[in-house]
Structure 1
Amino acid sequence: MHFIINLLILLPAQIASHFSWAGPLIMRLIVGYTFMLAGWGKLNNLAQVTENFIGWGIPLPKILTPFVSSVEFLGGIMLILGLFTRIPAAMLAVVMVVAIRSAKWDDVDSLQTLLGFEEATYFAAFMWLAIAGPGAASLDRLLLNISGQPKLRADAHNPVTSAEA
C-alpha cells in the first residue's frame, strides 16, 4: 500500500511542486486575455451591449454596461499581470453569476446544462484565482517581496516571513 501511495500520490505531488507557479500563471493568462478582449469589444460597442443588457432585464443598463465592460477589460489586464489578482477575479466571478442568471437562466433544465455553460467554467476559474491567488509568477508576489510584507503560504492561510519561506 505504501508503494502505491508513494508512486501515485507523493511522487506526482513532489514533481508538481516544482511547477506550482505554472497553474495560476496559465489560468491568469488565458482568462485574463479572453476577458480583456471581451471587455474591449464591449467598450467599443456600448450601444449594442446596452441593448443586450436591456433585453436581459439587467437594471440600470446605461450605467452597468460601461461598468461591466470596464471590469472585464481592466480586470483581464490585471489578471494577465497578476496585479491585485484576488479583486478582479472576485469581481469577474460575480459578473459570471449575473451573466448566467440574466442571459442563460431560462435555458437551464439540468445541472448538466448549467455546468456546460462557459460562464460556469469561467466562474470556477475566477473563484480559484480569488481564493488561491495569483501564484509566484505575478506582480502581486513581486510587490509582496519588495514591500517586505509577510507572504501567505501556498498551503495555508498563515502568514510567514521571508526568512521562513
Structure 2
Amino acid sequence: MNFIVNLLILLPAQIASYFSWAGPLIMRLVVGYTFMLAGWGKLTNLPQVTENFIGWGIPFPKILTPFVSGVECFGGAMLILGLFTRIPAAMLAVVMLVAIKSAKWGDVDSLQTLLGFEEMTYFAAFTWLAIAGPGAASLDRLLMKSAGYNEVPA
C-alpha cells in the first residue's frame, strides 16, 4: 500500500509542487484575456448591450450595463496582471451567476445542462481564483513582498 501511495500520490504531488505557480497564472491569463476583450466589446457597443440587458430582465440596465462591462474589461486586465486578484475574481463570479440566472436559466432542464454552460465553467474558475489567490507569478505577490510581508498568502 505504501508503494502505491508513494508512486501515485506523493511523487506526483512532489513534482507538481515545482510548478504550483503555473496553474493560477494560466487560469488568470486565459479568463482574464477572454473577459478583458469581452468587456471591451461591450463598452464599445453599450446601446446594443443595454438592449440585451433589458431583454433579459436585468434591473437598472442603463446603470448596470456600463458597470458590468467595466468589471469584465478592467477586471480581466487585473487578472492578467495578478493585481488585487481576489476582488475582480469575486466580482466576475457574481457576474457569471447573474448571467446564468438572467440569460440561461430558462434553458436549464437538468444539472448536466446547468454544468454545461460556459458561464458555469467561468464561475468555477473565478471562484477558485477568489479563494486560492493569484499564485506566485503575480503583482499581488510582488506587492506583498515589497511591503515587507514574509508570509505571503497563496
Per the normalisation by structure 1, the TM-score is 0.92
CA drift at 1:150: 4.2
The correspondence of residues 106-145 of structure 1 with structure 2, limited to 5 A, is: 106-145=106-145
State how many pairs are aligned: 154
CA drift at 1:152: 3.9
What is the RMSD computed on CA atoms of the aligned residues?
0.8
- What is the rounded CA distance, in whole Å, between the counterparts of 1:97 and 1:150 in structure 2? 36
CA drift at 1:130: 0.1
Aligned structure 1 segments of 4 or more residues deviating by more than 2 angstroms? 149-154
Are the equivalent residues in 1 in contact too, given 2:34–2:76 (CA < 8 A)?
A: yes
Residue 82 (structure 2) aligns with: 82
The correspondence of residues 16-165 of structure 1 with structure 2, limited to 5 A, is: 16-154=16-154
Q: Which amino acid aligns with 1:33?
A: Y
Unaligned runs of 5+ in 1: 155-165
- What is the rounded CA distance, in whole Å, between the counterparts of 1:14 and 1:135 in structure 2? 17
- What is the rounded CA distance, in whole Å, between the counterparts of 2:56 and 2:72 in structure 1? 18
- What is the rounded CA distance, in whole Å, between the counterparts of 2:39 and 2:151 in structure 1? 32
- What is the rounded CA distance, in whole Å, between the counterparts of 1:43 and 1:114 in structure 2? 28
Unaligned runs of 5+ in 2: none
- What is the rounded CA distance, in whole Å, between the counterparts of 2:91 and 2:148 in structure 1? 27
Q: Which amino acid aligns with 2:139?
A: L
Per the normalisation by structure 2, the TM-score is 0.98
- What is the rounded CA distance, in whole Å, between the counterparts of 1:153 and 1:8 in structure 2? 28
Secondary structure in structure 2 of the residue aligned to 1:83: coil
Residue 14 (structure 1) aligns with: 14
CA drift at 1:125: 0.1
CA drift at 1:44: 0.5
Secondary structure in structure 2 of the residue aligned to 1:137: coil
- Tell me: higher relative CO, structure 1 or 2? Use CA pairs within 8 A at least 6 residues apart: 2
